[in-house]
Amino acid sequence: MIITYLGGEFVKVQFGDITLAFNPPSKDSKLKASRFGADVALISINHPDMNGVESVTHGERKPFIISGPGEYEVKEVVVRGFPTESMFGGEKHINTVYTVALEGMKICFLGALSSPELPADLKEELDEIDILFVPIGGSPERISEKEIRAGDGVLAPSAANKLAVTLEPRLVIPIHFEGIGAAGSLKQFLKESGEEKTAPVEKLTLKKKDLEGKEGEVIVLKTEQ
């Protein structure tokens, strides 16, 4: 499996011949969007910063679109979506948290989650998570209307860290700190998690065996554009 972070909440996951795209920005977003063909596009909320299916449509390669709660199976990839609330951009949205099972590993993508209080059925699902993608763009210091529009409304770094600790994943990958007005949130998150010396890596390549013995290790991915 190869994981690449493309800014905002845009994440690319490749395994074999299959490519997953999480929350690609649309042409109406101010975020830059890397263009490629995906097999599956997973959209957490209906917002221009995260619903750009056209960004991951290339030529004849059009993704299967998953944009809400439910159970899905596409090309041996099993996806479950659970509804939560988000205040991303200062407006209430339905945010879908996804779990994805592939290659013997279980991914959880929290999307634009605003509250660390999770529904009971989602808590049950989040057992034995291998890789957790957690948003860290929110900040309690940001209270101006302009900054809310710039992208607040997701978990603050401290809340993101506490939730990650509670869920006990093997790996934690922060997102939402690049390109959505969240400067400084990554530094704060790493401080909260005791991982201040973590050096960013270009991309993450791993197999199931690479996760053995890991408990909440934080991996920071550089933005690839």
The number of distinct structural domains making up the chain is 1
Res 144: pLDDT: 41
Res 138: pLDDT: 62
Residue 66 maps to a domain: yes
Residue 223 maps to a domain: no
Residue 224 maps to a domain: no
Residue 18 maps to a domain: yes
Residue 71 maps to a domain: yes
- Residue environment code for 189-223, b if the CB has 16+ CB neighbours within 10 A, otherwise e: bbebbebeebeeeeebebeeeebeeeebebbbbeb
Condensed to tens digits (0 to 9), the pLDDT of residues 24-68 reads: 999 999 888 899 999 999 999 999 999 999 999 998 889 999 999
- Strands, DSSP E only, in the chain? 2-5, 11-15, 18-22, 40-42, 64-66, 70-74, 77-86, 93-102, 105-109, 131-135, 171-175, 204-205, 217-218
CA–CA separation, 155 and 85 (whole Å): 11
- Residue environment code for 1-15, b if the CB has 16+ CB neighbours within 10 A, otherwise e: bebbbbbbbbbbbbb
- Split at pLDDT 50, 70, 90, the class of 181 is very low
CA–CA separation, 161 and 166 (whole Å): 9
Condensed to tens digits (0 to 9), the pLDDT of residues 87-112 reads: 888 888 899 999 999 989 999 999 99
Please give the average per-residue pLDDT across 166-178, as a whole number. Answer: 92
Res 108: pLDDT: 98
Residue 73 maps to a domain: yes
Residue 225 maps to a domain: no
**Domain region containing 93:** 2-218
Please give the average per-residue pLDDT across 189-203, as a whole number. Answer: 90
Res 145: pLDDT: 38
Greater model confidence, 70 or 127: 70
Alpha carbon 143 to its chain's center: 24
Instruction: Residue 6: give its domain's CATH number.
Output: 3.60.15.10
Residue 44 maps to a domain: yes
Condensed to tens digits (0 to 9), the pLDDT of residues 108-165 reads: 999 999 999 999 999 999 989 999 999 998 654 443 434 433 346 899 899 999 999 9
